[in-house]
Structure 1
Amino acid sequence: MHIEKNVCDNIINTLLGTDKKSKDNLNSRLDLQALGIRSDLHPIEVEDKFYLPPAPYSMTSEEKKLFCKVLNGVKFPDGYASDIRRNVQVNEKKIIGLKSHDNHVILQQLLPLAVRRILPENVSAALVRVSNFFKQIYSPVIRVSDMQKLEAEIAETICLLEKIFLPSFFTIMIHLMVHLPAQARIAGPVHFRNMYPGERNDEGLPMEVQSTTPFFRNIGRGLAGKYCVALDHKTWLQAHRYVLFNYDNIDPYLNKHIDYLSSTGLQNKHEIDRVHHETFHEWFRLHVTEIGDDEPEEIKILAKEPIMAANKYNSYTINGFNFHTQSYDEGRPVQSSGVSLMDKWVRTDQFGITTVNFKHLFNTGDNISDEPFILASQAIQVYYVQDPVDTEWFAVRQSKPRDLYNMSETEKDDLGNDTEVSIILPDVHPNSTMNISVEETVFVRTDIDGIIVEANKPKT
């Protein structure tokens, strides 16, 4: 916890050149000169002042503002983190008054978004590796073998940082990162040993209502703004279709309908898929009615079709997440209306960061063939952070539910093995630990100017 905070403070203060807190100052450059290393970064005396050449991580005034704007524009899901926008001063290019949990969220979630479009690729990649390191260390479920691999990776990451930052950057807290994987192997996941109140749920999980139907295992619980609405035919049909096509035991009926369509003379696969999507619900109802009592009870319930009314909520909890409607989020300091999605207007960069473009939407519900709905049990909460350069694109960050763990049956069985604790580790994009050769390391930025600083006055 304290290591993470100090590492985050070191990085942010050095990138922004925070007065008296940055690890890059005149004394640091004079140390380079005394050691006879990194000659490109040695201070140059200009009359009674010194010119400091730009380091690989140096940013212009406008780049520092972009960095701060990323943090200043973030709204987190309800209960996920504090409102860090209060701590970001964009015009002054300062971030002040951060608490330990603020550093925790910034380092793991926001730092990669802030640096990837501003700093050189090798610098961004090294900082992304630090971010992913802490993200894996703080995972509520870990695998011992992965911690062993992480122990080797963090040593390599620190070597990369040593080629980018000055020796003064490497306080004891930076070096202590090397020992965190071994500590996790011995003492267990950091998630259970930190002191963040927001990461714990001392009162237990919120109650979620169990369904009375056999095909909805968990339907969550409404929190606010319940009201009943009458569905028009298009909305009713879109919802009904989605439930049918996503029911676990529907595959035999889907195959029967496709075979039936093929027997009617349809040859083109695209045409069969279109007709299948449009007519399956009606064929299914008639088919189950004809067969009668031979079908399972849940199939009979599905075939009866839903009523033309539904309950709507402004706030709802499911899968450990609290969701809000967009209108309910308006004017609030939180962003709890994001749900994960995938379409062609989604891209992933070399650092494994996914971005989406909301100006190109599909499945909006305008067409009767659209699928604007999902099952409540499929809802995964995300929040969006606007790209500081290409403002039409938003980075997608996934929120994690408190105290919910995805452990397969195989993994549970492995827990009985005395030789190794085997628990799922979250997936990390393969490019998030980029291999950067020494030749690729940039020791000085040539596209920006350095800064002029006053000579240190002798103490009296």
Structure 2
Amino acid sequence: MVHLTVHLVREVELCGPICFRWMYPFERYMKVCKGYVRSKRHPEGCIAECYIAEEAIDFLAELLLDDKTVGIPKEKYIVDKPTSGATVESVYGKEFQQAHLCVLQNTDEFRSYFLEHMEHLKREFPKYKKNKKWLLDKQNKTFGQWVKERVESQLAEPGCDIPEIVRWLADKPSNEVPKFSGYQIGGCNITLSFAMIFGRHKAVGFIWLPKHLK
């Protein structure tokens, strides 16, 4: 088999990479064709029938992709909104802190505040300035209260120009949280069961009911 090292190099130079010429894709497709067989007496007919049906479905799917379907207009599902009545619940402690922190971390206007707070922690706790995990945990616990005091001090300064979204989010949201058992998001209905809402199941999923199939 030593001669293969010579012939294979020559073959690659003439025909290109082997991944574009080997037979594995065709072997995999043979397995698909084998799955089309419903009658062992007429395997060729079963394969031809299923192949034509699949091609027809793909053709119609592309042809009707841009056509408007009969029924409720698609624009109705663009707006994301709840589909059920609200149940107000009070949230406190660690859960409230984590929710507020998550909103701040995903708001671009607070990036500079996170960097400033990290430098503040390094100066206040110099012996931990190289411990990234400790600094991150400390920031997650104290950032909400720190940024509230920081924004209040900036508002007290004359001529301050702070975006309105920073003022609202830094002041912390209300502890009263409305909960819904159904949502309409991205054209899909999400329905939560009774056990999901009241926390009886730890690992839960969603029921997706798409209104438009593409």
Q: In structure 2, what is the equivalent of residue 284 of structure 1?
A: 147
Q: In structure 1, what is the equivalent of residue 83 of structure 2?
A: 223
Measured in 2, the distance between the counterparts of 1:322 and 1:308 equals 27
The secondary structure found in structure 1 opposite 2:190 is: strand
Match runs of 1:200-239 below 5 Å: 202-205=71-74, 206=76, 220-239=80-99
Match runs of 1:131-210 below 5 Å: 157-162=28-33, 168-170=42-44, 171=46, 172-176=48-52, 179=55, 184=59, 189=62, 192=65, 202-205=71-74, 206=76
**Amino acid corresponding to residue 322 of structure 1 in structure 2:** N
**Amino acid corresponding to residue 192 of structure 1 in structure 2:** L
Once the two structures are superposed, what CA deviation does each residue of 1:182-201 show, in whole Å capped at 9, x if it has no partner?
A: x64xx76266389xxxxx67
The Cα shift of 1:163 comes to 6.1
8 Å Cα contact 2:90/2:175 also seen in 1? yes
- Tell me the TM-score normalized by structure 1: 0.32
The secondary structure found in structure 2 opposite 1:255 is: helix
Q: In structure 2, what is the equivalent of residue 268 of structure 1?
A: 131
Q: Which moved more, 1:166-175 or 1:305-314?
A: 166-175
8 Å Cα contact 2:192/2:206 also seen in 1? no
The Cα shift of 1:303 comes to 1.0
The Cα shift of 1:325 comes to 2.4
Q: In structure 1, what is the equivalent of residue 9 of structure 2?
A: none
Structure 1 residues without counterparts, runs of 5 or longer: 1-152, 195-199, 210-219, 331-357, 362-380, 384-398, 406-460
Measured in 2, the distance between the counterparts of 1:404 and 1:284 equals 45
Q: In structure 2, what is the equivalent of residue 439 of structure 1?
A: none
The secondary structure found in structure 2 opposite 1:306 is: coil
Q: What count of residue pairs does the alignment treat as equivalent? A: 173
- Tell me the TM-score normalized by structure 2: 0.62
8 Å Cα contact 2:189/2:210 also seen in 1? no
Q: In structure 1, what is the equivalent of residue 177 of structure 2?
A: 310
The Cα shift of 1:309 comes to 0.6
RMSD over aligned Cα atoms: 3.9
8 Å Cα contact 1:253/1:284 also seen in 2? yes
Measured in 2, the distance between the counterparts of 1:242 and 1:259 equals 20
Measured in 2, the distance between the counterparts of 1:240 and 1:302 equals 8
Larger Rg: 2
The Cα shift of 1:259 comes to 2.2
Q: Kindly, what percent of the aligned residue pairs are identical?
A: 20
8 Å Cα contact 1:227/1:311 also seen in 2? yes
The Cα shift of 1:257 comes to 1.7
Taking structure 1 as reference, are residues 296 and 404 closer, same or farther at Cα in structure 2, changes over 3 Å only?
Answer: farther
**Amino acid corresponding to residue 178 of structure 2 in structure 1:** N
8 Å Cα contact 2:181/2:192 also seen in 1? yes
The Cα shift of 1:228 comes to 1.8
The Cα shift of 1:235 comes to 3.1
8 Å Cα contact 2:182/2:191 also seen in 1? yes
Give the structure with the larger helix fraction: 2
Taking structure 1 as reference, are residues 189 and 227 closer, same or farther at Cα in structure 2, changes over 3 Å only?
Answer: same
The secondary structure found in structure 2 opposite 1:262 is: helix
